[in-house]
Amino acid sequence: MIIRLVKMQFKEDHKTDFVSLFNNKKEKIQNHDGCESVKLFNDIKDDSVFFTYSIWKSESHLNNYRNSEFFKETWTTTKSMFVDKAKAWSVKEAPLTSDIAIG
């Protein structure tokens, strides 16, 4: 399982546009092969900052989505509303043991 976190900051006059876009695209994202869920969060101190949180069966499922025409079109529209470049992380749950090799 892969969790994808994306942090985006929007121009003041595009915040509601983005929320509408997300709501219109959410179901199609969730129905993409390998997507288990997708949620939208808003920063509690800066309402122009949003985070998407999506869960994918594997990194290859996420990459297939990111290479899809649907993603490319949606991302092009979304990027046009940004104040600054988005930041993204793909993470997995850390093992609950001290036997982790670091470095």
10 Å Cβ neighbour count for 4? 19
Domain boundaries, the chain: 2-90
Predicted pLDDT at 102: 60
What tens digit of pLDDT does each residue of 58-100 get?
999 999 999 999 999 999 999 999 999 999 999 998 887 666 6
Query: Greater confidence, 94 or 19?
Result: 19
pTM: 0.89
Q: Hey, which CATH number is domain 2-90, 3.30.420.40, 1.20.1070.10, 3.40.50.300, 3.30.70.100?
A: 3.30.70.100
Q: What is the share, in percent, of the chain residues with pLDDT greater than 70? A: 93
Do residues 5 and 88 lie in contact, with contact meaning Cβ atoms separated by under 8 Å? Answer: yes
34, 64 in Cβ contact below 8 A?
Answer: yes
How would you class 86 by CB atoms within 10 Å of its CB: exposed for 0-12, middle for 13-18, buried for 19 or more? middle
pLDDT of 94: 85
